[in-house]
Amino acid sequence: AELITADEQVYYRDVYDHLVRIADLTESYREQLGGVLDAYLSVNANRTNDVMKVLTIIATIFIPLTFIAGVYGMNFDDMPELHWKHGYAATWVLMILTASAFLVYFRRKEWI
């Protein structure tokens, strides 16, 4: 004996068509959501790259200045420029020129 009659098969086929359409829509929404997620992650990565670039530029400018300050901050008496009348001003000029040179270089490269 048949469990599903010919008259009922029409209704089951209709339900099957609806389920296939829902499955296709679900797959389409999943693909669209994946595209939106990829776009979001790309924008986030670009923003992170911009932040990292700024931090790298700042570090590149300040690391040589820290080195110069560290050398002249040592308590050695054998450094001739320590006893020079304009040693302090010359150190400041050296630090300003170093930072300015890096800034000019970065501007010419259009990094800032």
Q: Are 91 and 67 in contact (CB under 8 A)?
A: no
* Cα 67–chain centre separation: 28
Alpha-carbon span 16 to 23, nearest angstrom: 10
Q: What pLDDT is attached to residue 1?
A: 56
What is the distance between the terminal CA atoms of the chain, rounded to a whole angstrom? 82
Q: What pLDDT is attached to residue 73?
A: 83
Mean pLDDT, the chain cut into blocks of 10 residues (112 residues total): 83 95 97 97 95 93 94 81 84 94 93 82
What residue spans of the chain are helical by DSSP H? 6-72, 87-108
Q: What pLDDT is attached to residue 40?
A: 97
Q: What pLDDT is attached to residue 52?
A: 95
Alpha-carbon span 79 to 70, nearest angstrom: 13
Q: Are 43 and 36 in contact (CB under 8 A)?
A: no
Q: What pLDDT is attached to residue 23?
A: 97
Query: 3-class SS at 111?
Result: coil
